[in-house]
Chain A
Amino acid sequence: MKTFKIGGVHPAENKLSASSPIREAALPKQAIFSMFQHIGAPAKPVVQKGDEVKVGTLLAEAGGFVSAPIHSSVSGKVTKVDVALDASGTRRTAIYVDVVGDEWEESIDRSSTLIELSDRPDLDSKTIVEKIKNAGIVGMGGATFPCHVKLSPPPGSKAECVIINAVECEPYLTADHRLMLEHPEEILVGLQLIMKAVDVKKGYIGIENNKPDAIALMTEKAKGYEGIEVVPLKVKYPQGGEKQLIDAVIGRQVPAPPAIPINVGAVVQNVGTAFAIYQAVMKNKPLIDRIITVTGKSVKQPSNLLARLGTPFQQLIDECGGLPEDTGKIIGGGPMMGKALLNLDIPMTKGSSGLLIMNDMEARRVEPQPCIRCAKCVSACPMGLEPYLLSKMSAKEDWEGAEKNDVVSCIECGSCQFTCPSNRPLLDMIRVGKSTVMGIIRSRAAK
């Protein structure tokens, strides 16, 4: 079975919510929309205090090419444009909307009838990308890179295939798994739309084989769609990393930055993104909701919720049986790459794929011991780096050395820290090094 070649680890899967069907979360009383729901320039608010909005009304326009607009996910009244604490742990500009009723913009098609690509012969590549751009769709796997940018290849590069990332290699998370089981056709049409947008004939869906039901169902349904192939993959973290997935599915390696996947002819999109693209293009629905896994060993009812963006995390936890007493840490995202949250008033955003409640024992970090030079981190690193060295260089502020040893290639997957027998905080230090070196490179380029 296929997988990527270098490194990787296999953490306990803990997919507690895999058999719990997606259910709709209740509307929040107040929704908060951060202007930083994507990588790139922040969105610019276009509404003011007192404005009435409906579901799907534009709240903020894109702040540049690498940026995305933000739409209201609720109907009601804008109470203020202020700052709000978000999942990054900082206070940033956000729009507050008090919810009244649930009134949708008329242009949105809320029916569940499936619209095939063949039903819409008028769609061409430009229209599709334009619709995706206006719907504010970003990478839903968690990286939140604006989707239309990936679908507009730079001049001189040509895509050869589209890969749908349905790996969901993070432990605990099951949002993508449930989406495939419940909306397979929509995902396939979404993939067709992406293929049409970048003008390729070949599409792959990479699924890890810990989801045999999803593999079977998608393979069955894909038979009706030309050029789409489901690729079962061996379970290994971080297979959901873009570069690892390309290696696993088509066996090509993306060179070190500034090279991007399109340089090897691949366009990778998350399965949630494909679903959102289907809804945006065929149903005119901007990105206003997403599926989020709320899970944890002590959670009463681990669930997959279809929740509106801007809903405070507290409410999502209440829907799953409330906050357990032995809570140690609450992680936004999965346990490997997610970030601990400061409080539960933080609203969910386009990139919130999961909410993991760790109990006290799980959350505790073990006291780090000296490095014993076992090189486990080196063999675990999926990018072929030397984490022990990079971490040391960051601690000693040797930025030149860190740059020479390719710290910017680090994808921050955490495999090194996970595998370290001395419990050293390798990734903590490497992140500092990576951000500093990237700052140095940027300032050098500006000169």
Chain B
Amino acid sequence: MNVILIAVLVLGLIGLASAVILFVVSHKFAVHEDPRIAQVGEVLPQANCGGCGYPGCSGFAAACVKAADEGSLEGKLCPVGGQPVMEQVASILGMSVELGAPKVAVVRCNGTCENRPRLAQFDGAKSCRVQQMTGMGETGCGYGCLGCGDCVSKCQFDALQMNPETGLPEVNEEKCTACGACSKACPRGIIEIRLKGPKGRRVVVLCNNKDKGAIANKACKASCIGCGKCVKTCEKFEAITLENNLAYIDAEKCKMCRKCEEACPKGAIHGFNFPPKKEKPATAEQQVEQNV
């Protein structure tokens, strides 16, 4: 009987002492996390894609709370959630939020199987990064899409698909969140995160080839040869620059007049989501040309 009593007493005392220690320690070393971080985290998509530039959603939530304490949420954007999520975040933090224009991934290569003949066959590990290490790859273009789909496998939103007919990745604009994972995965830097434009309309040079005109021309039917005709048509707005034999259209300056598209002798400039053009009656000059 005595033994049992002693055991109960001893264990009870140990338990009591431990409880006191635990209580003291938990108060002394408590980590105070701002409860708002968890609240913000809850409204975020939890895709942990890193598109916001922070390590995962919790990192972004912490950054938002810190920014709110400093007075402004400017520059903080979850590209996946977009406007609705950022509004929720702002209401939790008692702030207002102004969003930049939405963006979308654009594959700046139009080197389809038809436009860009395959000169060699790559049979190594099916990865763009591996193929890039062999140099030019399968075609005569050292800048275009390699076609192994590293970008597709990196997309968490099912917004990229390889088109087997063209051999190029295609962006589903509805699903694309502009997180930029594909852009980082592409060893040739073809994919650009670009302003989506009003009604999704935008004009883009679909080429990344920085070779001299003659080489670029030979490599692909739809390559930019750096002739500069588009730059001339856009003298008024100065939206197009030519660097390293490659034209680039500044999306913020572009007025969507699409004159450059007509001027490009190689058809490297593409307008997205424009309504189909109406046939204009032929001018007198064109009629003469046709007759000749």
Residues of A within 8 A of B (CB): 83, 85, 88-91, 339-340, 342-343, 364-365, 368, 395, 425, 428-429, 431-432, 435
Asked if B94 lies at the interface with its beta carbon under 8 angstroms from chain A, I say no
Task: Give Cα A85 to B135, complex, Å.
Answer: 10
Contact B119 A431 (CB under 8 A): no
Asked if B243 lies at the interface with its beta carbon under 8 angstroms from chain A, I say no
A81 to chain B, nearest CB (A): 13
Asked if B235 lies at the interface with its beta carbon under 8 angstroms from chain A, I say no
Task: Give Cα A378 to B216, complex, Å.
Answer: 44
5 shortest interchain CB distances as A-B pairs = A89-B135, A425-B125, A428-B125, A90-B135, A428-B130
Interface centre among A88, A89, A395 (most CB of B within 10 A): A89
1/0 per residue B173-212: CB within 8 Å of A? 0000000000000000000000000000000000000011
Task: Give Cα A91 to B129, complex, Å.
Answer: 18
| Supplied contacts A89-B136, A90-B142, A91-B215, 16 more A-B pairs, CB within 8 Å | A83-B215, A85-B136, A89-B134, A91-B136, A91-B142, A339-B134, A342-B135, A342-B136, A343-B120, A364-B123, A365-B124, A368-B125, A425-B125, A428-B124, A429-B125, A432-B129
Asked if B133 lies at the interface with its beta carbon under 8 angstroms from chain A, I say yes
B residues near A91, Cβ cutoff 8 Å: 136, 142, 211, 215
A49 to chain B, nearest CB (A): 16
A residues near B125, Cβ cutoff 8 Å: 368, 425, 428-429
Q: Can you list 13 contacts pairing A with B, beta carbon distance less than 8 Å?
A: A85-B136, A88-B135, A89-B137, A90-B142, A91-B211, A91-B215, A342-B135, A342-B136, A365-B123, A365-B124, A395-B127, A431-B133, A432-B133
Task: Give Cα A280 to B148, complex, Å.
Answer: 47
Within 8 Å by CB of A340, from B119, B127, B133, B134, lies B134
Contact B133 A435 (CB under 8 A): yes
Task: Give Cα A19 to B129, complex, Å.
Answer: 41
- Among residues of A, the one whose C-beta sits closest to the C-beta of B126 is A425
A residues near B129, Cβ cutoff 8 Å: 432
B residues near A431, Cβ cutoff 8 Å: 130, 133
B residues near A89, Cβ cutoff 8 Å: 134-137
Interface residues on B, range: 10 to 19
Q: Give chain A's interface secondary structure class.
A: mixed
Contact B136 A425 (CB under 8 A): no
- Among residues of A, the one whose C-beta sits closest to the C-beta of B134 is A89
1/0 per residue B93-132: CB within 8 Å of A? 0000000000000000000000000011001110101100
B residues near A343, Cβ cutoff 8 Å: 119-120
- Among residues of B, the one whose C-beta sits closest to the C-beta of A429 is B125
A residues near B127, Cβ cutoff 8 Å: 395, 428-429, 432
Contact B124 A425 (CB under 8 A): yes
Task: Give Cα A387 to B136, complex, Å.
Answer: 26
In the complex where A88-B135, A90-B135, A90-B136 touch, is A429 in contact with B123 (Cβ < 8 A)?
Answer: no
A residues near B134, Cβ cutoff 8 Å: 89, 339-340
Task: Give Cα A336 to B44, complex, Å.
Answer: 51
Task: Give Cα A428 to B124, complex, Å.
Answer: 7
Task: Give Cα A88 to B125, complex, Å.
Answer: 18
A residues near B135, Cβ cutoff 8 Å: 88-90, 342
- Among residues of B, the one whose C-beta sits closest to the C-beta of A365 is B123
- Among residues of B, the one whose C-beta sits closest to the C-beta of A88 is B135
A112 to chain B, nearest CB (A): 39
Interface centre among B120, B125, B136 (most CB of A within 10 A): B125
Task: Give Cα A91 to B141, complex, Å.
Answer: 10
A residues near B119, Cβ cutoff 8 Å: 342-343
Task: Give Cα A235 to B291, complex, Å.
Answer: 77
Task: Give Cα A91 to B135, complex, Å.
Answer: 9
B107 to chain A, nearest CB (A): 22
Task: Give Cα A432 to B134, complex, Å.
Answer: 11
Contact A429 B130 (CB under 8 A): yes
A80 to chain B, nearest CB (A): 12
A84 to chain B, nearest CB (A): 11
A residues near B142, Cβ cutoff 8 Å: 90-91
A residues near B124, Cβ cutoff 8 Å: 365, 425, 428
Within 8 Å by CB of A432, from B123, B130, B136, B215, lies B130
A349 to chain B, nearest CB (A): 14
A420 to chain B, nearest CB (A): 12
B57 to chain A, nearest CB (A): 20
Interface centre among A339, A428, A435 (most CB of B within 10 A): A428
